[in-house]
Amino acid sequence: MRRTDLYRALLGAHGRIGRGLFRDGRALPPVQLFFEATARCDQACRFCFYRGELQGPEETAAAELPAEAILGIVSALPSARLVSFSGGEPLLRRDMLELLGRVGADRGVSLETNGGRIDADTARGLASLAARALVGPGLLGVDISLHGRPQTHDWLVRGRAGAFTRAAAGLEALLEARRAAGQRFPLVTVKIVLTATNLEDLPWLLAWARQRGVDHLAIKLLDPGRTALSLQGGQSPLRGTGRRLDPGMDGARLRELLAEALEPRRTGPEVFMIPLGASIDDAVAHYQGRLDPRSRDCLNPWSRLSVLPSGEYYLCKIFGAGRAAEMSPLQAWNSEPFRAFRRGLLERGLPADCVGCCYLE
């Protein structure tokens, strides 16, 4: 079984059991925690659904949850066997390696980064935190975003000349540090957000990743926008699925290149799409604005809890409620707003606002 299929099966089983047990919107304690560790970023990607909240790299870190608060949230949830850190750019936090080490002492951790800040020291630091087994404690994986050939990548991350070179150097430094330590972990994933601009670069990126011994290539379908997390499950600025997400995308070519990339191979990176359950037909329908989330399923609100840099809890891109300063993660998880949101999903199914979400099944 592929690692990504195993991950999906385990998360899915946990969510399905919780959803089946309670009809009042409660859920079993979450098995995964996501921290958007900072809103600061040194890129301004054209497709970033986080752009409304992004801050420059030089902004103050005062508004971010301090390490001790993050550790407090994690220790209040012994059920969370996997803790993931993203941003913004999480390596802009000076305490990121320390956080990965402390959280990873007794559970799995992972990191999503744009890769530009992984120098040789950081790479060695990350390798030193490596897990020893897929289900053990320690650093299981590092996802690095590379969105195509150098010139395509640099244009997509918005005029940062040399961004590809820096991210690629970071990835290579990490692979080298892992090799030098004789380790299998952290698993390294190259992540591409697929747009009309970089579609033709997909075969090139796959070959590039294979040559370097990358473990996974994740093809992330474009998310048309972030909805207002702080609206307590209320209105969303997204308006249904009746529009094309990327008007330049050629459906036939998309189908062809995805089929080629996803073809099973004995060697080279494991290739998958995000959402994990998406088929090639789904991907084509998604870019043509024909994939209606209302006909799909999602178990995420029964399995994962996320925390914004400000300490606000949220279930997913369309619903958040409660703050870490006011309640524990378990209180938030089964609080009335969270239960009401889950009840709404049970009674009415997914809303159209879910379009583009990573967790659509």
Q: Which of 27, 45, 173, 258 binds ligand SF4 (CB under 6 A)?
A: 45
Nearer to ligand SF4, 44 or 346 (CB): 44
The tokens for 171 are 């990835």
Is residue 178 exposed (0-12), middle (13-18) or buried (19+ Cβ within 10 Å)? buried
Binding region for ligand SF4 (CB under 6 A) out of 43-51, 159-167, 245-253, 256-264: 43-51
Q: Is residue 140 classed as helix, strand or coil in its secondary structure? A: strand
Nearer to ligand SF4, 83 or 354 (CB): 354
Nearer to ligand SF4, 82 or 130 (CB): 82
- Residue 301: is the preceding peptide bond cis (ω within 30°)? no
Q: Which of 104, 301, 311, 320 binds ligand SF4 (CB under 6 A)?
A: 301
Residue in the structure block whose two tokens are 């659509």: 360
- In DSSP notation, 241-255 reads S-S-S-TT--HHHHH
End-to-end CA gap in the chain: 19
**Min dist. Cβ of residue 222 to ligand SF4 (A):** 11
The tokens for 200 are 């033709």
- Residue 329: is the preceding peptide bond cis (ω within 30°)? no
The letter for the amino acid at 98 is: E
Q: Which of 173, 249, 258, 298 binds ligand SF4 (CB under 6 A)?
A: 298
| Contact pattern from residue 230 through residue 259 relative to ligand SF4, giving x for each residue in contact according to CB under 6 A and a dash for the rest | ------------------------------
Q: Which of 38, 43, 84, 198 binds ligand SF4 (CB under 6 A)?
A: 43
Buried b (16+ CB within 10 A) or exposed e, 204-213: ebbebbeeee
Q: Give the separation between CA 331 and CA 329, rounded to whole angstroms.
A: 5
Q: Give the separation between CA 154 and CA 208, rounded to whole angstroms.
A: 16
Nearer to ligand SF4, 10 or 71 (CB): 10
Q: Give the separation between CA 325 and CA 1, rounded to whole angstroms.
A: 41
**Min dist. Cβ of residue 54 to ligand SF4 (A):** 6
Q: Which of 38, 110, 114, 303 binds ligand SF4 (CB under 6 A)?
A: 114
Nearer to ligand SF4, 215 or 353 (CB): 353
| Contact pattern from residue 60 through residue 99 relative to ligand SF4, giving x for each residue in contact according to CB under 6 A and a dash for the rest | ---------------------------xxx----------
When asked if residue 316 is in the footprint of ligand SF4 (CB under 6 A), the reply is yes
Q: What are the residues facing 112 on neighbouring strands?
A: 143
Q: What are the residues facing 194 on neighbouring strands?
A: 221
Binding region for ligand SF4 (CB under 6 A) out of 11-19, 48-56, 279-287, 306-314: 48-56
Instruction: Give the total of residues touching ligand SF4 (CB under 6 A).
Output: 23
For ligand SF4, the binding residues (CB under 6 A) are 41, 43-45, 48, 50, 54, 87-89, 114, 157, 298, 300-301, 316-318, 350, 354, 357, 359-360
